[in-house]
Amino acid sequence: MPALTIRNVSKAYAKQSVLENFNLDINEAEFLVLVGPSGCGKSTLIRSIAGLEEIDAGEISFRNQRIDQLAPKERQLSMVFQNYALYPHKTVYENIAFPLTLSARGNIDAEVHAIAAKLGLTEFLERKPKELSGGQRQRVALARALIKNPEIFLLDEPLSNLDAKLRTQMRSEIHKLHQETKKIFIYVTHDQVEALTLADRIVVLNHGEIQQIGSPEEIYNNPANTFVAGFIGSPPTNLIPLNAKTLEAFKNFSPKYPDAILGLRPERFSLENQAGDASIEVLVESVELLGSELIVHTDLTSQKDLKITARLPLNDKTRTLVRSNYKDITLNLYFSLLSPYYFDTIKLSRLGI
C-alpha cells in the first residue's frame, strides 16, 4: 500500500494550468525522482506536497491522513532547496539547530553535533555560510533537514548550483543518507544522470503530465514514447522517421513497422559488423573525444538534414576518426536488429510493447 498518495491534484497560475488531475502513489522508504524539462510541473508538485503552494483541487494524503489542508510544519517533512536557503547571519551550528529551537525538542547540542559528524561538518560549526564552499553549504542544508527527523525528504534540484565533481560527491552522500534513514525521498531534477543514478523509480514529466513511471532500467531500456526516449540518455536517442528516402541509407534492415519512427540509442552503434547486423550509412560532421569514448555527430546520407549521433568506445578502429580529417567521411554504423525501438508517427507512443 502506498504511503503518500496524490489524487486528482490541479494547480494553475494566472489561468495557466501546470498540473491537472494529477495522480501519483509513492511507497514507504522509496527514492522517487521527478525528472523533466524546465516548466514541466515538477517543482510545483514538490512545493504542493510541502505546503508551499496551495493546490486548487484534489487531495494529498500521507499514511491515510489528508495533509494538503495542514500547515507545512505539520506535514512531517523537510525540504532542501536549490539555493540552500541558509540564514546568512547565523553560524552553521545555528542553521542546523534552528528547527529544534522552534520545536524545543531534546538535547539540541548533542543532536547538532551528531548530525554534523555524519555529514562532515564538525569543523565548520562556527563558520557563517559565506565562509563555506557550495558543497559545504548544501551539506548544511541537508543537515538542517535531517535534524527534524522527518518522514519525507523533499529535494528540489539541490545539486544544480554545484560543479561536476561536487555533484558526483553529493549524489553519493544523498544516496547514502537515504539508505541510512530509510525514509521517503522525493527528488526533483532536470538532470537525467541524477535520475538514473539515484532513483528507485523515476517519474518522467512533460507539460504537467506523467510520460512514464518505472525503474531507471525500465525507463532507459523501454521508453514509452518519443519524449522519454529523447529526454533520457546522453546523447539522446536518435529518432528517424521511416520512409522511402531515409530507408535508402539502411542495409540488411527490414523494419518491423515500416511507417513508424525508429529509435536507436547512440551507444548501440558500432563500426564492427557482427553477423546479422543491420547498418546505416552516414556522413561524419564532427567528432568529440571524451577520454575512453567518442561522440560522433553525423548526417544521414540519404537525407542530410537528419542528424544521427553515435557513441563509440575508443579503440584502434575508432581512433582513426580522431587522427584523420574526419570531415565528410562516410561511415557505416552497425546495429543489432534487437536494438531499435518503434514509435507511432501520430501518437508518438511505443509500438510492440
Domains and CATH numbers, the chain: 4-226 (3.40.50.300), 236-343 (2.40.50.140)
pLDDT in tens, 227-245: 999 999 989 999 999 999 9
Q: Supply the mean pLDDT for the chain.
A: 92
> Rounded CA gap, 275 and 41, in Å?
46
User: At residue 66, does pLDDT exceed 70?
Assistant: yes
Of 34-48, 157-171, 206-220, 258-272, where does mean pLDDT reach its minimum? 157-171
Q: Average the pLDDT over each of 57-61, 197-201, 231-235, 347-351 and give the range with the smallest value.
A: 231-235
- In tens, the pLDDT along 97-144 reads 998 887 766 688 999 999 899 888 999 999 999 999 888 998 899 899
pLDDT of residue 105: 65
Assess contact for 82 and 22: CB atoms under 8 A: no
In this prediction, residue 104 carries a pLDDT of 64
Q: What is the pLDDT of residue 135?
A: 86
| pTM attached to this predicted model | 0.91
Task: Using a pLDDT cut of 70, give the percent of the chain over it.
Answer: 98
| Cα separations in angstroms, 324 against 115, 319, 327 | 55, 9, 9
What's the confidence (pLDDT) of residue 217? 96
User: Residue range 15-28: average pLDDT?
Assistant: 95
- Residue 236 is predicted with a pLDDT of 93
Q: Is the pLDDT of residue 216 over 70?
A: yes
Compute the distance between CA of residue 282 and CA of residue 302 in angstroms, rounded to an integer.
8
Q: What is the pLDDT of residues 259-290, one digit of tens each?
A: 999 999 999 999 999 999 999 999 999 999 98
Predicted confidence (pLDDT) at residue 1 exceeds the cutoff of 90: no
C-alpha cell at 208: 504537467
206 pLDDT more than 80: yes
Three state DSSP letters for the chain: CCCEEEEEEEEEECCEEEEEEEEEEECCCCEEEEECCCCCCHHHHHHHHHCCCCCCEEEEEECCEECCCCCHHHCCEEEECCCCCCCCCCCHHHHHHHHHHHHCCCCHHHHHHHHHHHCCCHHHCCCCHHHCCHHHHHHHHHHHHHHCCCCEEEEECCCCCCCHHHHHHHHHHHHHHHHHHCCEEEEEECCHHHHHHHCCEEEEEECCEEEEEECHHHHHHCCCEHHHHHHCCCCCCEEEECCHHHHCCEECCCCCCCCCEEEECHHHCECCCCCCCEEEEEEEEEEEEECCEEEEEEEECCEEEEEEEEEEECCHHHHHHHHCCCCCCEEEEEECCCCCEEECCCCCEECCC
Half-sphere exposure in the Cβ direction for 331 (13 Å, CA): 30
> Which residue has better confidence, 298 or 138?
298
pLDDT of 326 above 90: no
Percent over 90 (pLDDT), the chain: 74
The CA distances from residue 325 to 270, 319, 330, in Å, are 20, 12, 12
pLDDT band for 317, please (50, 70, 90 cuts).
confident
